[in-house]
Amino acid sequence: MTDFRKSVIYQIYPKSFYDSNGDGWGDLKGVTEKLDYIQKLGVDYIWMTPFYVSPQNDNGYDVEDYYRIDPRYGTMDDFEELSREAQKRGIKLMLDMVFNHTSSRHQWFQKALEGDLKYKNFYIFKKGQEKGVPPTNWESKFGGSAWEYVESFDEYYLHLFDVTQPDLNWENEEVRKEIQKIVRFWMEKGVKGFRFDVVNLISKGEYLDDHEGDGRRFYTDGPNIHKYLKELNETTFGTDAEIITVGEMSSTSLESCYRYAGEDEHELSMVFSFHHLKVDFMGNEKWVMVPFDFKKLKKILFDWQTHMAQHRAWNAVFWCNHDQPRVVSRFGNVEKYWKKSAKMLAAVIHCLRGTPYIYQGEELGMTNADFTDISQYKDVESLNHYQILQDKGLSEDNAKRIVQIHSRDNSRTPMQWNSGGNGGFTQGSPWIGCNKNCSWINAESQVEDEDSIFTFYKKLIELRKQYDIIAMGDFEPKAQEHPAVFAYKRYYEGKQLYVINNFYGNEVCWDAGEELEGYVCLLGNYDRQEIKDREVTLKPYETMILYKE
């Protein structure tokens, strides 16, 4: 059985990872060519975002065919070669499964639009409340109504995301059986991990107007969600003890996640939750300019750590993915303490209780795109909100600044391999612009450098393999009220691990409340020989991982 507690997972957004044929679009052969780099980092799994046939209205999360590889990424032969080569290096593959919705170009939806009742029942069609009024006032997560009118039926279909992403009707057993077939198909290809996209939205509750919000309370963590996950587990991945799973949980609650990722629940291995990445929002509103709330960040992470542990449930721990801005731009300091803050943020996550995920380029300290013109953005959500913000009365400049901070394209710029043209990503013209700082932030300059961010990540992964306390230990929050220090302790079989971090660019003092003599510094981002006193003075963005037998 795979012990996912000791594993580290590397996320690849194939479109932006490495282009092997010069068409400006990353591909599967490109991933195979870079396996030695990934092996050097020391991770156990590669999770790849979707590369199935898709119109790419939502960067592949609008799937047209779950069984075929989009020719832009390569062929099934390329996938099988990648699988073989990864296996040789002790790396397993985790695939992204998008089952809340399909593309409107999927044959099921095309048949539904033709009036085939079997396939119409694969989706959620409803009558309007009255002429011109959708069934409910729910809003799409990408802006606008979550309902689209189909004149030939005089009905609306539900799309919680883009209008080209109709939601599947999981209440229909035939839908669930089709989904089980898809998972088994990829299991037979040797896939050993699955990440389920927005999986806690698949069970809808009542279809009512939401007079207090945007509708999410009616479709999040719905009435049959645990039944559906248990059924999927039992009929597919649960039959192979080597397979690990993670559910992306949109706007979920801690209480729901005790069950999704509970040790004895037989649903999923672990969950992604996003509350800690909303601390620079205003309420639930993402498209604003506000500083991040450090105390709130600490409280959320600590609550998830302690409560999930109490309920024997497991977290996926992460800062970055293809939907989030780059963490060093978000919570670090790119201008003055780029390297120090990137290392500190890495240590915070990698020593928590949970399975760490590294998003491509995070291990190099890649930063936000900082595009200067709106035409450089490709993301449907960003472009929609650029318009919505102006419709609300914001100036073009302010709308653009907010998009610069929050756009998902910040994480989708090409991987920076070297200081050459397009950062070594492609010989052609990249599908999205490269970050100008690829001339000095790139893999080639870091892989052999003992002081690099890459080497720091590599050492964090080695520590997880070497010290069981990191994977298995109990968790205790520290410095809960301190305005700048993020600290916690881990305990396991009489051993102790102390992780102490300064989240800001000024020196700070912190009283640990106990003598620190006898602890050895396993890893830090400043030269420190030993810590003796209970009071520690932390340098800007300092991190230290202390250990005592």
**pLDDT tens digits, one per residue of 250-293:** 999 999 999 999 999 999 999 999 999 999 999 888 999 999 99
User: Which pLDDT belongs to residue 138?
Assistant: 98
Instruction: Give CA–CA dist 542/549, Å, rounded.
Output: 23
Dist. CA 456–CA 45, nearest whole Å: 19
Q: Which CA distances in Å does 77 have to 189, 433, 511? A: 11, 29, 58
* Short-list 115, 228, 100, 259, CA closest to 165: 100
Q: What is the DSSP letter of 486?
A: E
Question: Which 3 state secondary structure label does DSSP give 147?
Answer: strand
pLDDT for position 290: 94
Q: How far is it, in rounded angstroms, from Cα 150 to Cα 425?
A: 42
The tokens for 383 are 């472009």
As given in the structure block, the two tokens for residue 248 are 């992306």
Regions in the chain scoring below 50 on pLDDT? none
What pairs with residue 149 in β-bridges? Answer: 156
Strand ranges of the sheet holding 9-12, from the earlier edge strand across to the other edge:
270-272, 244-248, 193-196, 92-97, 45-48, 9-12, 355-359, 316-317
Rounded Cα distance between 329 and 400, Å, is 17
CA distance 463 to 456: 11
pLDDT in tens, 314-323: 999 999 999 9
Could you give the 3-state DSSP secondary structure of residue 362? helix
What does the alpha-carbon distance between residue 362 and residue 29 come to, in Å, rounded to a whole number? 22
Q: What pLDDT sits at residue 2?
A: 67
Closest CA to 86 of 115, 47, 144: 47
**Which position has the token pair 């070594």?**
424
pLDDT at 532: 79
User: What is the 3-class SS of 314-345, one letter each residue?
Assistant: CEEECCCCCCCCCHHHHCCCCCCCHHHHHHHH
Q: Are 315 and 353 in contact (CB under 8 A)?
A: yes
pLDDT of the residue at 45: 98
Residue 353's closest CA among 301, 295, 300?
Answer: 301
Cα–Cα dist 369/106, whole Å: 33
**Dihedral of the alpha carbons of 224, 227, 228, 234, in degrees to the nearest 10:** 180
Separation between Cα atoms, residue 86 and residue 319, nearest integer Å: 25
Q: Which is the catalytic residue, given 197, 362, 381, 542?
A: 197
What's the rounded Cα separation, in Å, for the pair 465 and 229? Answer: 30
Q: What pLDDT shows up at residue 529?
A: 66
Q: At what angle do helices 225-235 and 173-188 cross, to 10 degrees?
A: 40
Asked about 197 being catalytic, the answer comes back as yes
Rounded to whole angstroms, the Cα distance separating 358 from 349 reads: 10
What one-character-per-residue DSSP string does 396-432 give?
HHHHHHHHHHH-GGGGTSPP--SSSGGGGS-SS--SS
Q: Which uninterrupted H or E stretch holds 156? A: strand 155-158
pTM above 0.85, yes or no: yes
Spot the catalytic one: 167, 221, 231, 248. 248
Q: Is 545 helix (H, G, I), strand (E, B) or coil?
A: strand
N- to C-terminal Cα distance for the chain?
Answer: 29
Nearest to 239 by CA among 192, 195, 179, 203: 192
CA atoms within 13 A on the CB side of 15: 23
Q: How many residues does the chain have?
A: 549
Q: Could you read off the pLDDT of 43-53 as tens digits, one per residue?
A: 999 999 999 99
Which domains can be identified in the chain, with CATH numbers? 1-98+316-369+411-466 (3.20.20.80), 107-158 (3.90.400.10), 473-548 (2.60.40.1180)
Query: Are the CB atoms for 160 and 141 separated by under 8 Å?
Result: yes
201-237 pLDDT, tens digit per residue, is: 999 999 999 999 999 999 999 999 999 999 999 999 9
Give yes or no for a contact between 229 and 268, defined as CB atoms under 8 angstroms apart: yes
